[in-house]
């Protein structure tokens, strides 16, 4: 006898008033301007700079949270990356940013 499989419902499917959470903490990623820019950038730079696979993400070379003076849309601070390479880079940045923040506060 076949038992129906249960699929996991997303929280906003269970409660129609609840909307999906925006991507990341920075709301600028959820704007129409960013989506248009990202799409155009990936058309011009379709390959991951790290491994050469097809890129799916536009990465800020210097993290904005550590360099708030940088322009969000500055093309000179962007690079195309695949998900795997971007996640690897973000993991390394998250570990170094803690040390950077601690050192920065101690030197103030």
Does the pLDDT value for residue 106 go beyond 50?
no
pLDDT digits (tens, 9 = 90+) for 27-52: 888 999 999 999 999 999 999 999 99
- DSSP codes of every residue in 1-40: -PPPPPPPPPHHHHSTTPPPPPSSS-GGGGSHHHHHHHHH
Which residue's structure tokens are 């730079």?
Answer: 45
- Is the model's pTM score more than 0.75? no
Give the tens place of pLDDT for each residue, 57-100.
Answer: 999 999 888 888 999 999 999 999 999 999 888 777 765 544 44
Give the model's confidence band at 13: pLDDT under 50 very low, under 70 low, under 90 confident, else very high.
low
Domain regions of the chain by residue span: 26-106
Query: What residues contact 60, with CB distance under 8 A and at least 6 apart?
Result: 70, 77, 78
Quick one: pLDDT at residue 104? 43
Cα–Cα distances in angstroms (integers) from residue 36 to residues 8, 10, 19, 31, 51, in the given order: 31, 27, 22, 9, 25
């Amino acid at each position: 006898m076949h038992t129906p499989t249960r699929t996991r419902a997303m929280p906003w499917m269970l409660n129609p008033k609840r909307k999906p959470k925006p991507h990341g903490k920075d709301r600028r990623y959820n704007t129409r301007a960013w989506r248009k820019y990202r799409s155009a950038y990936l058309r011009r730079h379709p390959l991951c700079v790290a491994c050469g696979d097809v890129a799916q993400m536009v990465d800020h070379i210097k993290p904005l949270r550590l360099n708030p003076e940088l322009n969000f849309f500055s093309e000179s601070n962007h690079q195309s990356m695949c998900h795997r390479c971007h996640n690897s880079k973000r993991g390394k940045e998250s570990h170094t940013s803690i040390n950077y923040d601690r050192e920065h506060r101690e030197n103030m």
